Amino acid sequence: MDRRQFLQSTAAGLAAAGTGLQPMRAMAQGEPIRIGLMAPLTGVIASGGKEMVEGTQFWFEKINYQIAGRKVELIIEDDASNPDTALQKARRLVEQNNVHFLTGNLLANTGLAVANYVKGTGTPYFIPIIAADELTQRGRIPNVIRTAGYSGSAFPRPLADWALKQGYKRIATISQDYTFGHEQCGGFSQVFTEGGGTIVQQFWHPLNTADFSPYLGQIADLKIDALFVMETGADATRFTQQFNSFGLKGKIPLLGAMNMTDQSVIRTMGPEVEGIISAAHFAEGADISATKEFVEAYTKKYEKIPSLYGFSMYSGMMWVSRAIEKLGGKVEDKAALIEAVLKTELTDSPLGKPVKLDAYGNPIYDVYIRKVTKRADGKFWNVPVETYPAVSQFWKYDPEAFMKEPAFSRNYQGVKKS
């Protein structure tokens, strides 16, 4: 986001729209709808943060920063990839800017910090990116809703089921050693072992590992049918490259958590990513007209295929906008807004199929098993190979019973003892 974009999006309120703006402003009644967007624009994951802002702006530009006749004022703050800063910015947005709702944040710890704050203020907080299971499970806060987001352990479950169907019996996991990794590996390991598979070994490595060879050396000797990999950002790039140069590509099939093959990772990579399987609700290579349209328009504007961050913020804000339309633009009543969002079924998102929220504020998606495939122009993207309809964050378990079990951690992976 450069200075110009920032001005566009905030005070000037889309000055770039030029001539069309004046009449629209005259039409808009009373105060604008103020939206506080927090994204990590500096720090370790700044590139993802930038795409979050792009996705959000892309949506509001499409509707001319106008919902139900009211103007939208988007206030963007940098959470600096740091929970203390995120908290400070959330306070500023709520107490100083009087925003009607908050959205954004990328890292789980920033989202959890903000969620804890809005628990006290009652401000609606929409989290298309924050995947921490807790927020829509054990530690649910009524005004925190995962519009167009997903919970960490949800998508690896269908992937594990798919792996069982491929006849894989022995699988090892390698993952970044923090909560998001524990949850994704937990979801996978639980379903895979309950279906009769064996988790041979689990490797946990610190974030920002430069050299994977100690792990790759061991993995090569494990005699496994496949490897489940949970990596994000630069770790994902490095892992895939080193896996390839270790000569393991083609010998051990890779099953990835969705961030592993997200566009934010693979758009800079070459043939080493081809063929990696992952599970997600969004596949940029899906043969669905709504998806194609979104991907084309986004690519045209930002000169890159949309990533999870751009897609999720776009769809998340679309979701909230649809709910506000139903309320006739009245966002002041927090309880009504939350109620409306929970009841809104998102029908026209880039997913091309309707999505609903469950009773815990988490969406129920059709989940794709995706394969990284080369396009005609030489770029790589994720193409669906199979679909699991209506996947709940609780998989096939009873929510109440499920939430009585401990949360996933490095020590608790839900592995069924045989």
Partner 1 sequence: MSGVSRSKSPMGALVVLAILAVGVIAPFFLSRYQIGLATQILIFGMLAMSIDILVGFTGRTSLGHGAIFGASTYVVLYCVTQSGLSPYLAVLLGIATATVLAAIFALLAVRTNGVYFLLLTLALGMIVWGICLRWTQVTGGENGLRGDIRPKALSDYKDFYWFILALAALVTFGIRRFVQSPFGLTLRGIRDSDSRMRSLGYNVPLHLFIGFTMSGFFAGVAGAFYAFFNNFVSPSTVALTQSVESLLMAIIGGVGTLYGSFIGASALIALQNLVSSHTERWQSVLGITFTLIMIFAPEGIVGKFRALREKYANKH
Rule CB under 8 A: say whether 22 interacts with partner 1. Answer: no
Which span sits near partner 1 by CB under 8 A: 112-120, 154-162, 244-252, 388-396? 112-120
Rule CB under 8 A: say whether 130 interacts with partner 1. Answer: no
Which ranges in 303-333 belong to alpha helices (H)?
A: 308-326
Residues 6+ apart with CB under 8 A from 94: 36, 102, 117, 118, 121, 123
CA distance readout (Å), 192 to 67, 133, 185: 45, 19, 10
Query: Minimum CB separation from partner 1 for residue 227, in Å?
Result: 24
Rule CB under 8 A: say whether 405 interacts with partner 1. Answer: no
Rule CB under 8 A: say whether 91 interacts with partner 1. Answer: yes
- x/- mask, partner 1, residues 165-204, rule CB under 8 A, reads -------------xx-------------------------
Rule CB under 8 A: say whether 117 interacts with partner 1. Answer: yes
Query: Minimum CB separation from partner 1 for residue 7, in Å?
Result: 10
If the CB atoms of residues 112 and 227 are measured against partner 1, the closer one turns out to be 112
Neighbours of 279 (CB within 10 A): 30
Rule CB under 8 A: say whether 393 interacts with partner 1. Answer: no
If the CB atoms of residues 182 and 370 are measured against partner 1, the closer one turns out to be 182
- What would the two tokens of residue 177 be? 């050693």
CA distance readout (Å), 161 to 4, 195, 225, 341, 388: 47, 7, 14, 31, 10
Query: Cβ(160)–Cβ(187) under 8 Å?
Result: yes
Which span sits near partner 1 by CB under 8 A: 76-84, 154-162, 320-328, 331-339? 76-84
Q: Within 13 Å, how many C-alpha atoms sit on residue 70's CB side?
A: 21
Rule CB under 8 A: say whether 123 interacts with partner 1. Answer: no
Nearest of 250, 296, 285 to residue 271 by alpha carbon? 250
Query: Minimum CB separation from partner 1 for residue 265, in Å?
Result: 20
Residues 394-404 as b or e (16 or more Cβ within 10 Å = b): bbeeeeeebbe
Rule CB under 8 A: say whether 108 interacts with partner 1. Answer: yes
Which span sits near partner 1 by CB under 8 A: 78-86, 162-170, 314-322, 343-351? 78-86
If the CB atoms of residues 40 and 156 are measured against partner 1, the closer one turns out to be 40
Rule CB under 8 A: say whether 42 interacts with partner 1. Answer: yes
If the CB atoms of residues 120 and 378 are measured against partner 1, the closer one turns out to be 120
**Angle at alpha carbon of residue 103, lines to 128 and 290, rounded to 5°:** 45
Query: Minimum CB separation from partner 1 for residue 366, in Å?
Result: 29
Which span sits near partner 1 by CB under 8 A: 92-100, 146-154, 282-290, 346-354? 92-100
Q: Among all chains, which residue has been given the structure tokens 């203020």?
A: 121
Among 21, 44, 68, 87, binds partner 1 (CB under 8 A): 87
E runs forming strands in 6-92: 33-39, 66-67, 70-78
Interface with partner 1 (CB under 8 A), residue total 33
- What would the two tokens of residue 160 be? 């594990």
Please say whether the dihedral angle defined by the alpha carbons of residues 388, 394, 399 and 401, taken in this order, is positive or negative. positive
Binding-site ranges for partner 1 (CB under 8 A): 1, 3, 6, 41-42, 77-78, 80, 82-85, 87-89, 91-92, 95-96, 108-109, 112-113, 116-117, 119-120, 132, 178-179, 409-411
